[in-house]
Chain A
């Protein structure tokens, strides 16, 4: 934590509470995550870890029961103020524990996100898939 104030804050969480209906998943969370920082969250099951990730990603929009209150800023902007939630989610990846992949081929799994970001044409997508799988040291395996 050397001179952390000079580094860029990527995520600022202020008094964040999440509830599902009458049930509170977590409350009063305060933390900052800085650029290039590896930040871990540990806790027992049902302590709100996944709910927190979903709140960052604005996935609460998909769950009418889920209510998020408090402040959650990504790159200085309140997450709930991001006009385009889809663009926000493309910036903040979340990998859930299960399933490992979508129920489609490895190629389609890798190509899926590229297509969402508007990569068009087979050659361009092929290139992305090869680059990603090579970086993950999986290209030779598949």
Chain B
């Protein structure tokens, strides 16, 4: 009886092939994690000694070779917050329209194509667009508002795609059950679709924050200053920003201590990681409440 179930040579060879491919695919995946670990490791190793209360909450001194990064840290947070105020409503609204309302016609296909192409526009081109549109045409000048609006546009395709995917993942049957009771499209979206798509919207938020905090080129022309001895008092003023500050202290300022740029980079990555962690925790809490 056992002989009948014994593995043949063909079975064994299939099994070995299976294992080989599995190992290959796993190592490819593991290689993705490696750069992240190396970057974080180097930053922590070289930058951590810089991190202190003084570094985080004092102004730069002596041509930015000493002191802290407070104005840049605050500036980056300002830009991210203003960016989210504009980008999230627009991104989510566009995704809702495309997923729930848009008919399948040439206009929708053109819009989708435009969104995909927007994702491919180089950041320096975005920067020039920002200068033309927000700094000059709308007259915001080089300001936090202009910078935030410019960086808001760049990750919009990511927000729209992430949100749309999660909206479309809500089973169509839920919508039909709702419609058949006499609910309008908006009532259906509000009561059933959005609550179940919230995790995708938060994914969009994570992508938006990560991209915005790190962008340098677009804010360089539209609102980020090389050095400012004071904090901005409104969104119509310029600000320092971590990403640009990192560029400046690594390439433009002579005699900067070696650890300083690493410290700035560590803080920048830290902000992004903290904000991401908050939304990931929130997302998994909401996923736990999902009812199917």
Contacts and interface: CB of A to CB of B under 8 A. Distances in A.
Asked if A pairs with B, the answer is yes
B187 A102 contact: no
A136 B195 CA distance: 28
A62 B179 contact: yes
Interface stretch (B18-26, B31-39, B167-175, B261-269): B167-175
Contact of B177 (A64, A88, A99): A99
B158 to A, nearest CB: 26
B4 interface: no
A89 B180 contact: yes
A116 B192 CA distance: 13
B182 to A, nearest CB: 3
Contacts, number: 69
A55 to B, nearest CB: 12
Contacts of A93: 180-181
B17 interface: no
B181 A112 contact: yes
A100 B49 CA distance: 59
A94 B103 CA distance: 24
Given A102-B192, A103-B196, A103-B292, A116 B182 contact: yes
Contacts of B178: 102, 112
B177 A62 contact: no
Contacts of B195: 103-104
Contact of B174 (A62, A65, A94, A99): A99
Given A86-B184, A103-B290, A59 B179 contact: yes
A112 B191 contact: yes
Interface in A64-81: 64-65
Interface of A, secondary structure class, is: loop
A59 B180 contact: yes
A39 interface: no
Nearest to A87: B182
B258 interface: no
Given A62-B175, A64-B103, A99-B292, A116 B180 contact: no
Contacts of A3: none
A54, A64, A101, A102: which has the most chain B beta carbons within 10 Å?
Answer: A102
A108 B179 CA distance: 16
15 contacts: A62-B179, A64-B103, A64-B104, A86-B182, A89-B179, A90-B182, A94-B176, A96-B177, A101-B177, A102-B177, A102-B192, A103-B174, A103-B290, A103-B291, A112-B191
Interface of B: 103-105, 171, 173-185, 187, 191-192, 195-196, 290-292
Given A89-B182, A103-B195, 16 more contacts: A62-B175, A62-B185, A64-B104, A65-B104, A86-B183, A89-B179, A94-B180, A96-B173, A102-B191, A102-B192, A103-B290, A104-B191, A112-B183, A112-B191, A116-B182, A116-B187
